[in-house]
Amino acid sequence: MRDSEVLYSVELPSPPSSLQLFYNDGGENGDQLLYGTTDGKIGLVQLGRGSAAHRWVLENSSGSVGTRQGGITCMDHHDITGDGVRDLLVGRDDGTIEVFAYEDGDESEPTLRFSTACNESITGIQGAVVGNAGYDEILASTYTGWVFGVTSEPMDRHMTSESGVVHISQESKQKIQKLRLEIDELQQRVLKERDQYQAATQSAFPGISAVPFFSVNDKISLNRSDASYLLSVEVQTAVDNVLLQSDVPIDLLDVEKNSAVVSYSTCDPESGNFLLATYRCQANTTRLEVRIRTIEGQYGTLQAYITPRLQPKCCQVRQYRIKPLSLHSRIHSFDPNRPYNTLTLKGQFTLPEMHAWVVFCLPELPERTPSGERAEFTFVSTFLDTQLQCIYGPGEAVFRSDNISTISILKDVLTKEATRKKVRLDISCEVSEESVVHALHLLHPRLEAQLMLAKQVSLIDALRELGSHETDTSFLSPEYKQILDNADELLAQYRKQPCHLERLYGMITDLFIDKYKFKGVNVKSRVPQLLEILDNYGSLDLQHLINFFQAQ
């Protein structure tokens, strides 16, 4: 910006959450800027007078599905490795601290050198010499108020070993003794304050509020890589339990970092209650992560009841909207070379009204109405890679997608919202037959991979039993040997994607019903035939499924 004028904007791969000047001073010419994103990417851009150039983007690929690192909260530069070149220090919202080294200056992505983790989100990070002269440290602060240092001082520097016995230097012994005294003093102060608080709240005339206030740092974000939402809840005191309740069907997926025990309660879907799950946390747990997969077309509210370990008992409720097209994510470019279905709406509506309806349907959109006479946004389905383009202004809105089910969901929801607001709409749809075949081609590799995974997992028990009775398993085919060798990895992958195959079946069924719905034909009686084809998909081919879709 210059004064109050925006000179230009820079398109980033994900929403930014942190900014830092390269090398803390912007680099050689002072025009280089590092950014961190909510989904854990780090990138470098060079800011010119009229435009920006992207130098590199470091993807968040440090773990498998479900174990990816958190979003970037803070960054700094300091020479921790002692090679004369400042390193990049990164703090993440899942408690991870990382040190990256620039091997080739700013010309290529930095390389991860060190990593450590705590159980709380990092709110600030700084490199300095603090505890011991001559040894650099990384100072970090956390959400609950902890400030700690990670030192480059070798821990065995003050230790010697003779005949298997480790001897600690006098200097280290004094440090340990001092730390123990400090911890004991802090524990006594905590116990004293806790007793005073208990006495105040349980007396006949309480001197303080009976309902203690506690702040909650919560966030729900879409993970593009596996089309799931990550809900993180963090409290400044220990969490006792978190109850999740949803009025729409959703799946809870495993998170390896979680130590909480989850239990499910019986729900009555007819009363609008599809999920009741309680996460009971271990002692001193202040942060909880939950992975969720939604179903597009099913929209409503997810509620989290957060109960900390405080007396008297209290609870905070947080609500998260599940949107009709919840698995769509914003992108910057639209591919015009796909077969698209078009939905056109005309009526007596304003730009703010239509924008509010689109915000109701799609995530990652600003609540504020865009400036100008019309708005244009592009989305991609994180589950299927189909695209959606939204162009709207006063009195007219046009939506284009290569997935006919996306258009069907938009038509139903927007019509319902317009009826609720008593706005009359003229609706027209242009359906492309090629788009259905195109969507089936996109679904084919996913369906094939999930069917193969399910088949391999079903054989693991039998192969393991066979292996336990045979000393030599060389007679097994290469395929069976591979399944036996990778059994643990296959089972872990299968557990991380529960109901994945059912979701694919559901998407194909919706595609089939929506295709004929626009023609005014009810084909629900043919769904059992479609499911039979999908069950035998391994022995059939994609063309057999396409032929069924095209049969009148």
Question: Comparing 161-165, 174-178, 328-332, 434-438, which segment has the lowest mean pLDDT?
Answer: 161-165
Q: What tens digit of pLDDT does each residue of 412-441 get?
A: 999 999 999 999 999 999 999 899 999 999
pLDDT in the model for residue 414: 94
Q: What tens digit of pLDDT does each residue of 340-357 get?
A: 999 999 999 999 999 999
pLDDT in the model for residue 64: 44
Residue 153 has pLDDT above 80, yes or no: no
- pLDDT bracket for residue 510 (50, 70, 90): very high
Beta carbons within 10 angstroms of residue 364's beta carbon: 16
Of 43, 12, 44, the C-alpha closest to 26 is: 44
Check: CB of residue 276 under 8 Å from CB of residue 243. Answer: yes
Tell the CATH topology of 328-431: TATA-Binding Protein (3.30.310)
Side-chain half-sphere exposure of 106, counting CA atoms within 13 A? 19
pLDDT in the model for residue 66: 43
Where is pLDDT greater, at 293 or 169?
Answer: 293
Rounded to an integer, the average pLDDT of 536-552 is 78
- pLDDT bracket for residue 245 (50, 70, 90): very high
Residue 3 has pLDDT above 80, yes or no: yes
Tell the CATH topology of 16-151: Methylamine Dehydrogenase; Chain H (2.130.10)
Residue 84 has pLDDT above 60, yes or no: yes
Secondary element (H or E) of residue 542:
helix 542-550
Instruction: Quickly list DSSP for 89-137.
Output: EEEETTSEEEEEE-TTTTSS--EEEEEEE-SS-EEEEEEE--SSTT--E
Rounded to an integer, the average pLDDT of 193-217 is 70
pLDDT in the model for residue 157: 53
The pair of three-digit structure tokens given for residue 327, joined into one six-digit string: 């698995």
Q: At what angle do helices 542-550 and 500-517 cross, to 10 degrees?
A: 30
Rounded to an integer, the average pLDDT of 454-461 is 77
CA distance 362 to 409: 11
Rounded to an integer, the average pLDDT of 299-307 is 95
Where is pLDDT greater, at 25 or 172?
Answer: 25
Rounded to an integer, the average pLDDT of 11-36 is 91
- pLDDT bracket for residue 65 (50, 70, 90): very low
Of 61, 63, 64, 54, the C-alpha closest to 13 is: 54
CA distance 356 to 369: 8
Largest CA distance in the chain: 89
Query: Which numeric CATH code is attached to 216-322?
Result: 2.60.40
Mean residue pLDDT of the chain comes to: 86
pLDDT in the model for residue 455: 77
Question: Comparing 19-23, 100-104, 203-207, 504-508, which segment has the lowest mean pLDDT?
Answer: 203-207
CA distance 229 to 65: 12
Q: Could you tell me the strand order of the sheet in which 300-308 lies?
A: 261-264, 275-280, 239-246, 300-308, 316-322
CA distance 541 to 24: 57
Q: Which residues on adjacent β-strands are paired with residue 319?
A: 303
Beta carbons within 10 angstroms of residue 146's beta carbon: 14
pLDDT in the model for residue 235: 92
pLDDT in the model for residue 63: 46
Domain boundaries, the chain: 16-151, 216-322, 328-431, 435-550
- pLDDT > 70 in the chain, percent: 90
Question: Comparing 153-157, 303-307, 367-371, 522-526, which segment has the lowest mean pLDDT?
Answer: 153-157
Residue 481 has pLDDT above 90, yes or no: no
Check: CB of residue 534 under 8 Å from CB of residue 508. Answer: yes
The pair of three-digit structure tokens given for residue 28, joined into one six-digit string: 């050689």
Of 240, 251, 292, the C-alpha closest to 274 is: 251
- pLDDT bracket for residue 159 (50, 70, 90): low
Instruction: Quickly list DSSP for 462-475.
Output: HHHHHHHH-S--TT
Instruction: Quickly list DSSP for 357-392.
Output: HHHHH-SS--SSPPSSS-EEEEEEETTT--EEEEEE
Cis ω for the linkage preceding 498 (within 30 of 0): no
pLDDT in the model for residue 89: 94
Helix, strand or coil, per DSSP, at residue 43:
strand
Q: Which residues contact 185 (CB under 8 A, 6 or more apart)?
A: none
pLDDT in the model for residue 472: 67
Q: What pTM value is reported for the model?
A: 0.82
pLDDT in the model for residue 303: 95
* Residue where the block lists tokens 């904007």: 9
pLDDT in the model for residue 253: 83
Check: CB of residue 20 under 8 Å from CB of residue 126. Answer: no
The amino acid sitting at 62 is S
Q: What tens digit of pLDDT does each residue of 255-297 get?
A: 777 778 899 998 888 888 899 999 999 888 889 999 999 999 9
pLDDT in the model for residue 155: 62
pLDDT in the model for residue 32: 93
